[in-house]
Structure 1
Amino acid sequence: MSLDAKTLFALLPAVYRTRDALAGGPLQALMNIAASQFDVVEENIEQLYDDQFIETCMPWVIPYIGDLIGYNSIYQTAAGLDSRAEVANTIGYRRRKGTPVCLQQVAGDVSGRPAIVVEEFRRIVTTQSMRLPRPHHVACLDLRRNDVLDTLNDTAFDRSNRTLDVRRIAPRVREVALPDPAPLDIGLHGPGRINVPDVAVHLWRCQPWWIGDAPAFVVDARRFRFSPIGLDMPLFSVPPASGAPFSRMHTRLDVPQPIRRGEFRRQPARFYGASLALVADGVAVPVTQICCANLADRQSATGGPWCVVPPGKIAIDPELGRIQFAADLPAPASVRVSYAYGFAAALGGGPYDRSATLDAQAPTANLAAADFYALVGTSPFPDLASAVAQWNAQPPGSTGVIVLPRYERHVIDLTGPNAIALPSASVLAVVSATPLAQGGPRALEWDEACATLSGNLDINGLAAPPLPNGDPAAAGQLVINGVLIEGQLTLGGAPLTAQLSDCTFLPGLGAAGDGLSQCEPGIVLTNDTTLCLARCISGPIAASTAGSVRVSESIVDANSPCCVAYAGADGYSAGADLHIEDSTVIGKVRTRTLTLASNTIFFGRTGRHDPWPAALWCSRRQTGCVRFCSLPQNAITPRRYECLPPDLADPASVARFAPSFVTLRYGRPGYALLSGDVPLAIWQGADNGSQIGVYYGIQETEAVSNVQIRLPEYLPVLLEGGVFVHPARPEPRPAPPPASYYGARPSCCGDEDDADAWLPGIGAGLL
């Protein structure tokens, strides 16, 4: 029984309690202290009981319980936090050792990612015995079976049969160099696939992120897009909740991957409702009204419809994320969508939980104490401009919070006289959140919300007179969290401090939808500002040398390795002092001082006739440090430690250790994700043995290594396995617009790869 302070004090004789009340209660205060210590002891006793079970024990107890059953430790990954699941299932693993369901469960538990195990020997074409005919095991493809043809390129669900491949599926035995320039695929599996001893383990790198009840992007009266900024993007399937361990083998619906047109056309009910849904004019659209169609752009001078939709139907293209209403249906006044998109990490503006950041950050940590609170979309603040106007009227030193609810889209022009004013010592937070029906007018949840701002946003700092002792007044503080900005953010005026986290500043300023590369800066600093980016996706940054910039777990994308990703306010001179960690920079960088660069990929190069001496150019080389980074050729940096390539002056060494990505197109699931042909030196080149770049924090390298460690332990004798990750193959680059006779097509900042092909006119190829 718990002994609280009231119970302990009541056990004393009444005479002592009476005297204690006359004396001011010192004895009662002593009982309060004793009761608090009793609570500590009681909680410790209860935890000792909980520590006897793997499901409830403390993390430090897990290795001790594992030692009782002979468990060998593996890498601790961010996905699983600890090895609790594997220790809990170890006895189950051993009881089912050698079975596919055991291998599947082991791979999922140690990697924290969806896994599917394929016994490749079941797909070998053999001469059948008349005593045991297998009608489904055919040697030729049935070209009328679209469900089979759709999965030919998907190695996990390919049901076609193949002839024998005698090459091994296990990673080849080779002499490993340090650093290792071999591609990642060589370290995960061999070249063979279809053989008697072959077992393949497939892991999915992307996870689905659910967007619920968001406004669709309007193309015209009958055409819409799922993307809030109008990009083409594949829609992902949402796997059901995982059942009991070892219950069944996984199927297509148990893994998150893009929905194909073929599978959506054949069985729309498998995906519609669970993975995507439409609401037109406040009425949910039933699955019977949905059809699948290829809504790709047609070659039409008039810009007509994407396709002809059957009467009474609403067409959805899951591969492009497009919607089109039939011509006989009334044009809807509003369309709201629910869907899932794929991405590898909680990065940029998204629906993931941001409580860990905002609950410990002023002024969102204590909303009740904020002097100014505005919920955009309510009657006092119908739009963001009205909330900004009232904030600008607040006295200096105020704290304010402007909340953008859920996934709404706001068209803004907060520049010039409409800009946000930030006086000295003031604190303003512009955040996305989900208002709660219960808990008061300021009850918010930092989850399932990512508002979109379409337009430019200016922040002007307002100076204050110095303090009586002569010290300058405290700078204003700006917090932006959980927002997708399709425009340019400019910080000017008096010095201020800007903390941007979990945001997306669209690379290309909104022009990415037409496939053109845009190099205009997404963030501009014209004053003495301290800028901090954490878990953000941003376009180029133009920062005055008077300020300072810190980037962590972010992507800075100039849309081309030849464009400027970081420089001064004029786009050429040296930018502000830069501190960057665990990030990926696509484009050229010029900074005055690189105070620290750690676990970062600088993917840039100089173009033909480029005036820059190097794609990474630091003016001051006597101070700062670059460690565990991937650098471009002839990079001008301060002292380096364990960086790649080993010889920056050797073009062959630079090419051998150059990073490779699945795609660098913003909006794709594999955006900035290392591909299967990336050198192992980059895949394992971070300070803790993980991969270099923005996905350093998800510990993907450790997760895949765990599968490779456990796979031989649970494979049957004489069998061998290989690990395949999805996606791994680099996506093809989109074709640029064709060149005309009198004018070349738009170039990408002097990208020398196709420079000769862009010359127009007769005989251009001879130049």
Structure 2
Amino acid sequence: MTSNDRLFQLLPGVYRRRDAERGDQLRALLAVITEQADLLDADLDLLYRNWFIETSQEWAVPYLGDLVGYQPLRGPGEELPPERAAALLAALAPRRDVADTIRNRRRKGNLALLEQLAADVADWPARAVQFSALLHGTTPVRLYTVDERANRGRRRRGRLADLRHGDALDRHGNDPAVRAAGLPGPFDTLSHTVRVSRPDSRYRRGGPNIPDVGLFVWRLRPYAVTKAPAYCIERAYHHYTFSILGNDLPLIAKPVPEPGGTHIAEEENVPAFLRRRAFAERLADYYGPGKSLCVYRDSPDNPVPLADVVAADLSGWKYRPQRGQVAIDPVLGRIAFASRGAPESGVWVTYHHGFSADLGGGEYHRGITKPPKHIKRYPVGPGGAERIMDAIGQWQQERAKHPQAIIEITDNGAYQEQIDIPLLPGEKLTIRAAEGRRPVVRLLDWYSNRPDALRIVGTAPMTDTDGCCPAPPEFTVDGLLITGRSVRVSGPMGPVRFRHCTLVPGWSLDEHCRPAFEEEPSLELIDTTASLALEHCVVGTIRVSQSETRTEPVRIHSTDSVIDATSSTVDAVTGPDCRPAHAVFSAIRSTVIGRTRVHQLGLVDNAILLGETCVDRLAEGCLRFSWIEPGSRTPRRHQCQPDVALADNPPEAELVTARIRPRFTSLRYGEPGYAQLALDCAEATRRAADDASEPGVFHDLFQPQRADNLRTRINEHLPAGCEAGIIFVS
């Protein structure tokens, strides 16, 4: 019996026998009716589930919110693709925010509720501060009387900062963004005088005032690095940095869950940058396995005891720890051992650093799937090959049996080796990090008579007995950080993909995150047929050396990535000798720092091209909803900045361009605010994308919409007469 026979089986047996004798005509009719009845039943069940916020479809969430007075934000005003519309809808009307609307209104005016709204609506950790608690005023001396009780009350209303309370002074000026705005810090306990400007003013933010509430939010997320090798300073064998690249890296606290819904967030509950004084006073809260940071010496399983750790200022490496001590500077991310107690077998570290999104590889979830049975996996690390080339050698011995293979690195180690990968037609090789791992490939100066790049070389296809040419080889890199030299692709190749990878711009960094070799490329495409795809990557300059007369232009497609030439005046995508790259370049939700010189553009959408763009072929290609540097030579543009702004104010072209030019928190790779649009960036630029979000690599964070939604929510839940301001700490 099939599912369509459900109604037919309800008939008496005599009718079923007669129908069988006449060719099952009634049975066929009831099967059609049953199919339609099942569709109607499924639709009724779906309609019933759409009445509840826990089980409803995404499109029904705003309608359920409207029934309880929830106010969603306005959309971009134009039709979007389904996948992007779903992501934007989740940002404009989060399901959990709609579900909590009635319950939250019963807690109106509660500071803990404002912090919960920031987490539910914008997915930002926050701390709410009532500025009236910090407000104090000075009393004229003439008002003091012989009544000592009254005098004590007057002294409590205003006083100078106590210089003996170093932690209070440190909390006051620890956050640079808050300090630059002239505001009290999120954990400030000092007294302040009245500032009457509004707390959410675009021009001058207010400060402590009677009706004001400040909601301090952290946009940077904490990213863990677990048991990774530290970097040893070459000139001093007992000095190390947490970053494997040797740059200073401020460490972030691993947030501790709050004990209850009415708890106000403290410093350990948010991803705040670690302070030296806080680290010294609460060392046991921050240091140790499973906590914010930990140092291992001579073995990844041998942590330095808590009793041996001291907090210190290691600026200039002037501090010298005593014998047996290990000095840690959480502000600079540095480690110093005693000169006579330096490790002999290496140093490993566990720490947390801040960044805006899942980009460039890390221990975050990358969606790694188990390979099919016909694709063999060769592990590298504990339980597998010792080096990457050893695993590649094993595969090359079995390549006839396994033309498709995966080299998977299972730890966070640093691999110093020379990597050359020849690929035959029809082969597909993937080198990837295991889920939750971030290995590092360091390409050192091995040879004196040839480049030391990581080389991927394709072999020309041979015609088989049937007269057919096999497909060119394919190569994929997923989740690696590559430093020291470039990656070079040559020969006949198919798709070459880099996914969640970092190819350090400028090859390596100094202690201040300055690139070591500014004009050196990170990716080289030399006489190849490869098509390059970048997804969630950070790479340096891309150089294409290709014959313009004998070959078709290669295709370069960047999605949610940063192409960083280390300066807007250096070529980011180019050919040899400053000639245009013989390539078709496309950039979707990407940030390009440097000049772009290409043969042709494909689609540039919701991107930032921070440098002059020069395109040879203008008849094809399109740029839409992006920032294009003035003076660029490009195909047709649609709603690009600064063209839109200049159309409204043509006489003031230079002034308008300077006002809306993208400003970034940092343009140096290795710093926490890298490639993040600054808080003082013009609104026309921050909302220049087609869905009113910010263009560039962090478009899909929907930060403008999240901030707008949060402002709407907190204004609904403030006490009457109060004003709130959102203050971005990071």
Which residue of 1 is the match for residue 296 of structure 2? 279
In 2: Cα distance, 1:556 partner to 1:520 partner:
13
Shift of 1:502: 0.3
What one-letter code is carried by the residue in structure 2 that aligns with 1:384? I
SS of corresponding position for 2:100:
helix
Shift of 1:227: 1.1
In 1: Cα distance, 2:619 partner to 2:348 partner:
56
Shift of 1:295: 1.5
Which residue of 2 is the match for residue 126 of structure 1? 137
Shift of 1:108: 2.4
Shift of 1:714: 1.6
What one-letter code is carried by the residue in structure 2 that aligns with 1:278? V
1:568 is aligned, of 563, 575, 580, to 575
Which residue of 2 is the match for residue 536 of structure 1? 537
Which residue of 1 is the match for residue 519 of structure 2? 519
SS of corresponding position for 2:710:
helix
2:358 is aligned, of 326, 330, 346, to 346
Question: Is the Cα contact below 8 Å between 2:662 and 2:681 reproduced in 1?
Answer: yes
Q: How many residues align?
A: 644
SS of corresponding position for 2:214:
strand
SS of corresponding position for 1:238:
coil
What one-letter code is carried by the residue in structure 1 that aligns with 2:264? M
1:314 is aligned, of 326, 344, 356, to 326
**In 2 relative to 1, CA 72–420 (structure 1 residues): closer, same or farther, beyond 3 Å?**
same
Shift of 1:376: 1.4
In 1: Cα distance, 2:695 partner to 2:44 partner:
44
Runs of at least 5 residues in structure 1 that lack an aligned partner in the other structure: 5-35, 172-184, 299-305, 360-364, 434-446, 605-614, 728-767
Question: Is the Cα contact below 8 Å between 1:77 and 1:699 reproduced in 2?
Answer: yes
5 Å matches for 1:373-388? 373-377=377-381, 381-388=385-392
What one-letter code is carried by the residue in structure 2 that aligns with 1:215? P
5 Å matches for 1:320-719? 320-329=332-341, 331-355=343-367, 358-359=368-369, 366-370=371-375, 372-377=376-381, 381-393=385-397, 394-395=399-400, 398-414=403-419, 419-433=420-434, 447-455=435-443, 456-466=453-463, 472-486=469-483, 487-513=485-511, 515-516=514-515, 518-526=518-526, 527-544=528-545, 546-604=553-611, 615-646=612-643, 647=646, 650-719=653-722
Shift of 1:261: 1.2
Shift of 1:226: 1.3
Question: Is the Cα contact below 8 Å between 1:479 and 1:499 reproduced in 2?
Answer: yes
Task: Verify: 1:73 aligned to 2:46, yes or no.
Answer: no
Shift of 1:467: 6.0
Task: Verify: 1:85 aligned to 2:96, yes or no.
Answer: yes
SS of corresponding position for 2:198:
coil
Q: Deviations over 1:382-439 (max 9, x none)?
A: 211222233344239810110111211100212xxxx101212110000000xxxxxx
Deviates more, 1:540-549 or 1:230-239: 540-549
**In 2 relative to 1, CA 217–677 (structure 1 residues): closer, same or farther, beyond 3 Å?**
same
Q: Deviations over 1:660-715 (max 9, x none)?
A: 01111111110011112111111111010000111101111111111122232122
Question: Is the Cα contact below 8 Å between 2:223 and 2:352 reproduced in 1?
Answer: yes
In 2: Cα distance, 1:261 partner to 1:126 partner:
31
SS of corresponding position for 2:315:
coil
Task: Verify: 1:103 aligned to 2:114, yes or no.
Answer: yes
In 2: Cα distance, 1:376 partner to 1:39 partner:
52
Which residue of 1 is the match for residue 162 of structure 2? 142
SS of corresponding position for 2:532:
strand
Which residue of 2 is the match for residue 163 of structure 1? 193
What one-letter code is carried by the residue in structure 1 that aligns with 2:436? E
Question: Is the Cα contact below 8 Å between 2:138 and 2:157 reproduced in 1?
Answer: no
Shift of 1:307: 2.2
Q: Deviations over 1:160-203 (max 9, x none)?
A: 222222222233xxxxxxxxxxxxx54xxx43222222222222
Deviates more, 1:228-237 or 1:155-164: 155-164
Question: Is the Cα contact below 8 Å between 1:490 and 1:524 reproduced in 2?
Answer: yes
In 1: Cα distance, 2:37 partner to 2:152 partner:
73
SS of corresponding position for 2:725:
strand
Runs of at least 5 residues in structure 2 that lack an aligned partner in the other structure: 4-34, 75-86, 140-148, 176-184, 444-452, 547-552
Deviates more, 1:577-586 or 1:84-93: 84-93
In 1: Cα distance, 2:544 partner to 2:703 partner:
33
In 2: Cα distance, 1:459 partner to 1:683 partner:
39
Name the TM-score, length of structure 2 as normaliser: 0.81
Question: Is the Cα contact below 8 Å between 1:422 and 1:476 reproduced in 2?
Answer: yes
Question: Is the Cα contact below 8 Å between 1:425 and 1:473 reproduced in 2?
Answer: yes
Shift of 1:250: 1.1
Task: Verify: 1:224 aligned to 2:224, yes or no.
Answer: no
What one-letter code is carried by the residue in structure 1 that aligns with 2:470? A
In 2: Cα distance, 1:380 partner to 1:248 partner:
47
Please, what is the CA RMSD of the aligned residues? Answer: 3.4
Question: Is the Cα contact below 8 Å between 1:211 and 1:351 reproduced in 2?
Answer: yes
Question: Is the Cα contact below 8 Å between 1:396 and 1:426 reproduced in 2?
Answer: no
In 2: Cα distance, 1:170 partner to 1:448 partner:
39
Deviates more, 1:512-521 or 1:689-698: 512-521
Shift of 1:378: 5.5
In 2: Cα distance, 1:566 partner to 1:272 partner:
43
Which residue of 2 is the match for residue 733 of structure 1? none
**In 2 relative to 1, CA 67–658 (structure 1 residues): closer, same or farther, beyond 3 Å?**
closer
SS of corresponding position for 1:93:
helix
In 2: Cα distance, 1:571 partner to 1:397 partner:
42
Question: Is the Cα contact below 8 Å between 1:200 and 1:721 reproduced in 2?
Answer: yes
Question: Is the Cα contact below 8 Å between 1:77 and 1:111 reproduced in 2?
Answer: no
Deviates more, 1:232-241 or 1:210-219: 210-219
**In 2 relative to 1, CA 81–341 (structure 1 residues): closer, same or farther, beyond 3 Å?**
farther
What one-letter code is carried by the residue in structure 1 that aligns with 2:124? R
SS of corresponding position for 2:150:
coil
**In 2 relative to 1, CA 590–512 (structure 1 residues): closer, same or farther, beyond 3 Å?**
farther
Shift of 1:208: 0.2
Shift of 1:49: 8.1
Name the TM-score, length of structure 1 as normaliser: 0.78
5 Å matches for 1:16-95? 54-55=53-54, 57-74=56-73, 83-95=94-106
In 1: Cα distance, 2:161 partner to 2:49 partner:
57
Which residue of 2 is the match for residue 756 of structure 1? none
Which residue of 2 is the match for residue 117 of structure 1? 128
Shift of 1:375: 1.0
In 2: Cα distance, 1:52 partner to 1:271 partner:
46
**In 2 relative to 1, CA 126–223 (structure 1 residues): closer, same or farther, beyond 3 Å?**
same
In 2: Cα distance, 1:224 partner to 1:78 partner:
46
Identity %: 31
**In 2 relative to 1, CA 642–58 (structure 1 residues): closer, same or farther, beyond 3 Å?**
closer
Question: Is the Cα contact below 8 Å between 1:79 and 1:698 reproduced in 2?
Answer: no
What one-letter code is carried by the residue in structure 2 that aligns with 1:718? G
What one-letter code is carried by the residue in structure 1 that aligns with 2:482? I
5 Å matches for 1:148-297? 148-153=168-173, 154=175, 155-171=185-201, 185-186=202-203, 190-219=204-233, 221-242=237-258, 244=260, 246-273=261-288, 274-280=291-297, 281=299, 282-297=301-316
In 1: Cα distance, 2:627 partner to 2:395 partner:
44
In 2: Cα distance, 1:551 partner to 1:255 partner:
33
Which residue of 1 is the match for residue 8 of structure 2? none
Which residue of 1 is the match for residue 12 of structure 2? none
